[in-house]
């Protein structure tokens, strides 16, 4: 999968002090296919991944699971998806990078 182009983050995102790994996790949690109000799950498996997921949850950008049977995951919430749109410069909200 091609990485989305990322513009320079807006000032309000820079003020959130998101680390490069936090930004990467927000970008990985794309909108779900169902209603686009929640991000698709991103697998978290290392202690560093858990630290990132916890930090994003504290900032109100998503939630994560820990110790569940289907695997631990991070999901963007609506705020995380808005940050994701701003990070990739998606002004029309469709997130379709194809030229069709």
The total of other beta-carbon atoms located within 10 Å of residue 59's CB is 16
**Domains along the chain with CATH numbers:** 11-88 (1.10.10)
| Chain-centroid distance, C-alpha 42 | 9
Predicted confidence at residue 47, as pLDDT, reads 93
CB hemisphere CA count around 42 (13 angstroms) = 27
Per-residue pLDDT tens over the stretch 18-31:
899 999 999 999 88
The pLDDT-based confidence of 64 (bands split at 50, 70, 90) is very high
Question: Percentage of residues in the chain with pLDDT exceeding 70?
Answer: 74
pLDDT at 4: 53
In this predicted model, what pLDDT tens digit does every residue of 36-60 receive, in sequence order? 667 788 999 899 999 999 999 999 9
How many other C-beta atoms are found inside a 10 Å radius of the C-beta of residue 75? 21
Is the pLDDT score of 85 beyond 70?
A: yes
């Amino acid at each position: 999968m091609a990485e989305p182009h990322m513009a320079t983050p807006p000032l309000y995102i820079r003020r959130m002090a998101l680390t490069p790994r936090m930004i990467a996790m927000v970008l990985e949690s794309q909108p779900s296919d169902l209603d686009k109000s929640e991000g698709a799950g991103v697998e978290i498996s290392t202690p560093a991944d858990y630290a990132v997921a916890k930090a994003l949850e504290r900032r109100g950008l998503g939630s994560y699971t820990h110790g569940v049977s289907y695997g631990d995951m991070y999901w963007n919430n609506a705020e995380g998806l808005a940050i994701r749109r701003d990070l990739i410069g998606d002004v029309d909200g469709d997130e379709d990078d194809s030229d069709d």
